[in-house]
Amino acid sequence: GLSQAAPNPLYSYYHGGTPKSLIDHILLSQGASGHITKAGVSTGSFFGSISDHRPLLLGLSLRGALPGRSTIHALQRPPLSSPDINLADKSLVAHYQTHMASITPTTNPLNSQQASATLHSLSLAPSAWLASDQHRNKPHAPKRKHFDGWSPTAMAYKYNLMAIYDIHSHLRGYHGARRWSTQNHMNSGIYPIIDLWVSRVKQHAWPHPSIPQTLMDVTGYGPSFWRTCTLEDISHPSFCPSIAQSLLKRLHGRNRADLRSKISEATAARERSRILGRTGRVIRSIMREEVDMYNLDYLHLDDGGSLTDHRALHNLITTHFTQWYRGPTTPHTNWQTVMQSKAAFVTECINKFIPMELTDLLWEALTDVPNAQAVKEELASILHHPPPLHEFLAAVRGHKGSTAPGATGLTYNMLKAWPEATLTFAYQCLELLWREQCTPDWMKWCWLCPKPKDPEAEVTL
């Protein structure tokens, strides 16, 4: 059963935040060819706000099933916010150039494999160095005994604390509050308190709709508990004070300082974006319209179930988008043959239900190209040899800097700040790869960052 497959006791029925018993079951057919590999219960705050039951999770090993797709070739997960270098900070640029010069090889690459590996290492180094603390000289801030400040998270804890104090006053009859002596008295008085608490928390703008519910459930006694509890459940004199004490610890000066530091970091990130010319990101940050990248935490399936295993999520989404970008599986049209004959072109357009008047326009536009042969010959001549070094340097320095990086995290601003020796070595690597007509595998990777169209909707494929 479930209890034997799990290493620790399982509880699927909760009373408030307290686990009580395992009363839910998963029924398996006797003819199922497999065995249980793991078992568990989802105990997150999401389900705690809906029901006093928690969903059961069961891992099955089915004989004859296909093995899960490996993720051994997957790249390391990118950071949620890509670092970039501020070219206006001369001191930072000087330290950055010194670091890049120290890791640049002094001998030319001998073959394409060595050129690919060294170029990959140089491409990864800038973002790793900027994300580390090696270039930061932060002065130690003086210690303070008293803290002030504001944050939505701290206010959510404060609203929770106010609700607890109100409930405790009615339970004990303190401060002129009407004492709840019966269950009906409590029901008529506790609902307005909880509704006011919830409305105060949700009036703030949150990055994700699940955050306010998580904050309200942080003590284990969220709104759903207070709406369903009995007078006997909360009548003990120390019940409300113990909850209030846990909230007061979260509102301690050090915790408020941590919350303010997060606000300061967000403000500093916004200022860096402004300096780098990323006006759109600045406006979205001010208007609180930033859309978070999908974090692969969960996925709702078409059959009504959900998936939470990160490896299984990665494999499922990779397979989905691989099929999506592959296109239809029908035989591909040989356009080289079609474009040599108007009759074949017309036949292809008829099969795709394109009107004849549009077919004639398309044929004329695709075939009537002045000096086409001269352009082909010129392109063939240009692509026969790699661009010279001075054109490579001009292309790097003349490119717009405020562009998103690729899978390595390397941006054009980072390239522009490379010392002359590093840029020359990178050119030599690219030139060798060009002449040997070799494209490294790591250049073929890119990050796919899916963003839900509706942040408040269930995430599905």
Which has the closest alpha carbon to 199: 154, 246, 160, 240? Answer: 160
Note whether 63 and 32 are within 8 A (CB).
no
Which has the closest alpha carbon to 163: 207, 155, 237, 49? Answer: 155
The answer to whether residue 171 scores a pLDDT higher than 70 is: yes
Mention every residue, 6+ apart, whose C-beta is less than 8 A from residue 200: 155, 159
Instruction: State both tokens at 78.
Output: 């990118």
The pLDDT score that the predictor gives to residue 67 is: 45
Query: Which range among 77-81, 130-134, 342-346, 412-416 shows the weakest confidence by mean pLDDT?
Result: 77-81
The answer to whether residue 292 scores a pLDDT higher than 80 is: no
The pLDDT score that the predictor gives to residue 312 is: 81
* SS3 at position 69: coil
Query: Which range among 158-167, 256-265, 307-316, 333-342 shows the weakest confidence by mean pLDDT?
Result: 256-265
What does the DSSP assignment read for 278-326? -HHHHHHHHTT---PPP-SS-EE-TTS-EE--HHHHHHHHHHHHHHHHH
Maximum CA pair distance of the chain? 96
Mean pLDDT of 179-196: 91
The answer to whether residue 76 scores a pLDDT higher than 60 is: no
The answer to whether residue 33 scores a pLDDT higher than 80 is: no
Query: Which range among 64-73, 234-243, 416-425, 447-456 shows the weakest confidence by mean pLDDT?
Result: 64-73
The pLDDT score that the predictor gives to residue 7 is: 52
Chain segment 407-450, per-residue pLDDT in tens:
888 888 999 999 999 999 999 999 999 989 899 988 888 777 77
The pLDDT score that the predictor gives to residue 24 is: 66
Note whether 259 and 151 are within 8 A (CB).
yes
Mean pLDDT of 380-405: 85
The answer to whether residue 303 scores a pLDDT higher than 80 is: no
Query: Which range among 27-31, 111-115, 150-154, 320-324 shows the weakest confidence by mean pLDDT?
Result: 27-31
Query: Which range among 162-166, 216-220, 406-410 shows the weakest confidence by mean pLDDT?
Result: 406-410
- Do the bridges between strand 18-21 and strand 13-15 make them parallel or antiparallel, or are there none, so unpaired? antiparallel
Instruction: State both tokens at 99.
Output: 């670091």
The pLDDT score that the predictor gives to residue 137 is: 53
The pLDDT score that the predictor gives to residue 89 is: 86
Instruction: State both tokens at 377.
Output: 């010959």
The answer to whether residue 15 scores a pLDDT higher than 80 is: no
Decide: pTM greater than 0.85: no
The pLDDT score that the predictor gives to residue 423 is: 94
Chain segment 372-391, per-residue pLDDT in tens:
788 888 888 888 888 999 99
Q: Which residue has tokens 């963003």?
A: 451
The pLDDT score that the predictor gives to residue 281 is: 79
Mean pLDDT of 263-288: 81
The pLDDT score that the predictor gives to residue 45 is: 54
Backbone angles phi, psi at 362, to 5 degrees: -65, -45
Instruction: State both tokens at 351.
Output: 């099969």
The pLDDT score that the predictor gives to residue 192 is: 92
With bands split at pLDDT 50, 70 and 90, how would you rate the model's confidence at 267?
Answer: confident
The answer to whether residue 164 scores a pLDDT higher than 90 is: yes
